[in-house]
Structure 1
Amino acid sequence: MDESLRNAQMGETSVHDNAVRDGDDSSHEGMRVSKNVARLMMLVSAAVWGSGYTMLKHVQGVMTTQWMMFFRMAASVILMSLVFLPHLRKIRIKRYIVPGLVLALTYWLGFLLQLKGLETTSPGRNSFFTDTYCVMVPFVIWALTRKRPSGQHIAAAFVCAFGIGLVSFSGGGPELGGLSTGDVLTIIGALFYAVNLVVVGMMGRKFDAVALMLAEFAWCAIFFGVGAVLFDGAPSASWVRMDVVLCLAYLVIGSTIIAQIFQTIAVQNLPATEGSVILSTECIFAMVIAVIFTGEKLTVPSVCGFAVIFVAILLSEVQFPGRHKTK
């Protein structure tokens, strides 16, 4: 989920969400907190992930995308290894090399396309288009498992498409019906995030979530590092600036560690639907932060389009009373 770090990190937590929806919450003892505290923790996660888009955009103005992601993913792997060292000592890490590689391919492509899109579009647009992965997930499941989406999910897809159409009228670019190249790359990146989320859900109950996510991040660091060396040249000393260091620290510590831990605890103490709705406000935080700190301009069509896309995201996430999921 950007930052998406939410995107893959939401994937890890979705394993628990799926268990809750299926009526099985026995797999996690978890840390018990009150529902109000859990809601606050989930809201903080959404705000941190949402503000990450503006941080990413700022760093992209100084260093190349692939070097930025290499530093971010490598630092995340180191910090997570230290934080979860006692837990990881009990696990056969070699067992996670291949599954981590499979997940990393979709996660890396999602990140690469989303961030290449962010180079030429605004953080707010990037965040809303990235979060359309929620709407895509049922259709990816359909493609991989032949389990048809429900009527609600099909309706969400049409609503989302209508919202994207409204946003295109706001003057994003002439390349594809008013959408800029950055917008299109972001939407394609969202598709890879959806694939990543589904594959995580399929693997999740066979593997430890922390070790799986760590292996995924480690492979991504390798992919971004190789790409940076081959296509972006050597790192520059001019990148060592306080503002860049602080933004990267925010993305690594805030988005990768703190927000992920908050989300993991909160989702164990809230109904899955409620947690998903709160977390969906990430794109709203992203837009507000972008307007305040980057001067992103909003038009009536874009605001209406973003509102419709947000409705589509909620429609894809919420299970209405009286609807029973069949096994």
Structure 2
Amino acid sequence: MPTRLRWMRLRPQELALIAITAVWGGTFLVVHWAMEHSGPWFFVGIRFLLAGLISVVLFWRSLRGIRWIDIGAGASIGLMIHLGYGLQTLGLQTIESSTSAFITALYVPMVPFAQWLFFRRRPPALAFLGAGLAFAGLVLIAGPAALTFSLGTGEVVTLVSTLPIVGEIILISAFANRIDLGRITVVQLLTAGILSFATMPVVGEAIPDFSWVWLIAGVALGASSCLIQLTMNWAQRSVSATRATIIYAGEPVWAAIVGRIAGERLPFAALIGGALVVLGILASELRIVRRKQPAAETGEPLSA
């Protein structure tokens, strides 16, 4: 039976994910500056606690009818956010950002298989192709230095951080159509912030001296984190975990664009990598459509 490829139009939910991925990628420089004045767990805590408080202001009416499923789902996603962001930020204290980008990119090909494992739904073949292209692009963006890392503490911590990142995406998809959007956003953000502060005495991290840098960065990223998580919770109600992940793979592309605006020069390989990420997103938009042959060609009788 003949087949052809058909492009699918981007839906509003997918456009929203592309937009928040751009915001996400643009936060790289802000986090980098903040880490010069704050410890990782304190900054992650202040970032998500502020995000949680902003979400409380936005959704306080819906909190009156909060259910145990909202609390459980939000707390589990918040735990993944806490571990993913916290461990990644911790690793950045001892390894280069290119190495961190390469290791973190491992979550991109992991999500389609995780979706297959937990949801029992095999993603289409072109979704795997898109994830593969996106991952190859991320490797080029990270640069050749990222391929020569040794498994030190920073590398191991960053590698472990990819697991909760996968967990966050999978859990959002699992609970998306079963919970209230505002309630789960509030719970997950507050959980991530509180757990990050609770981690500080465990790892021996002290409260940093006051700095306008970490305060302004925390407020800005708190607002952006609220927007990002709210959009993810809403969009992944109808966008699969695999499809969303391929879109999220565009984060370092946007980070590279912001870095270029800030004066950083991009190597040619990074430009090729960015093109591969975009190609991966486009590839995942393709659908294989089987065309039925006319009955006369197949030898089947024509219907009356």
CA spacing shift, 1:143–1:258, aligned 2, 3 Å: closer
User: Residue 147 of structure 1 corresponds to which residue in structure 2?
Assistant: 121
Equivalent position to 2:186, from 193, 214, 228: 214
- Kept in 2, the 8 Å contact 1:163–1:309? The answer is yes
- Kept in 1, the 8 Å contact 2:80–2:164? The answer is yes
CA distance in 2: counterparts of 1:54 and 1:140, whole angstroms: 31
User: Residue 252 of structure 1 corresponds to which residue in structure 2?
Assistant: 222
CA distance in 1: counterparts of 2:155 and 2:255, whole angstroms: 15
User: Residue 9 of structure 1 corresponds to which residue in structure 2?
Assistant: none
- Kept in 1, the 8 Å contact 2:37–2:211? The answer is no
Alignment of 1:283-302 (within 5 A): 283-293=252-262, 296-302=264-270
CA RMSD of superposed structures (Å)? 3.9
CA distance in 2: counterparts of 1:259 and 1:232, whole angstroms: 30
The Cα offsets for residues 232-286 of structure 1, whole Å up to 9 and x where unpaired, read as 433132xx22232221111012x12455667788x59xx969x968876543221
CA spacing shift, 1:191–1:171, aligned 2, 3 Å: same
CA distance in 1: counterparts of 2:202 and 2:104, whole angstroms: 27
CA spacing shift, 1:290–1:130, aligned 2, 3 Å: farther
- Kept in 1, the 8 Å contact 2:99–2:147? The answer is no
- Give the deviation of 1:50 after TM superposition: 1.8
Gaps of 5+ in 2: 1-7, 292-304
- Give the deviation of 1:217 after TM superposition: 2.0
Alignment of 1:179-258 (within 5 A): 186=158, 188-237=160-209, 240-253=210-223, 255-258=224-227
- Give the deviation of 1:106 after TM superposition: 2.5
The Cα offsets for residues 188-240 of structure 1, whole Å up to 9 and x where unpaired, read as 53442222211221122222122123222222223211211222433132xx2
Deviates more, 1:218-227 or 1:50-59: 218-227
Residue 38 of structure 2 corresponds to residue 63 of structure 1: yes
Gaps of 5+ in 1: 1-20, 26-34
Residue 57 of structure 2 corresponds to residue 82 of structure 1: yes
- Kept in 1, the 8 Å contact 2:107–2:166? The answer is yes
- Give the deviation of 1:181 after TM superposition: 7.4
TM-score by length of 1: 0.68
Count residues with an aligned counterpart: 276
Choose 1 or 2 for highest CA Rg. Answer: 2
- Kept in 1, the 8 Å contact 2:41–2:199? The answer is yes
User: Residue 75 of structure 2 corresponds to which residue in structure 1?
Assistant: 101
CA distance in 1: counterparts of 2:153 and 2:133, whole angstroms: 22
CA distance in 1: counterparts of 2:247 and 2:85, whole angstroms: 23
- Kept in 1, the 8 Å contact 2:141–2:269? The answer is yes
CA distance in 2: counterparts of 1:280 and 1:166, whole angstroms: 13
Identity of aligned residues (%): 21
CA distance in 2: counterparts of 1:187 and 1:300, whole angstroms: 27
Residue 28 of structure 2 corresponds to residue 53 of structure 1: yes
CA distance in 2: counterparts of 1:99 and 1:260, whole angstroms: 13
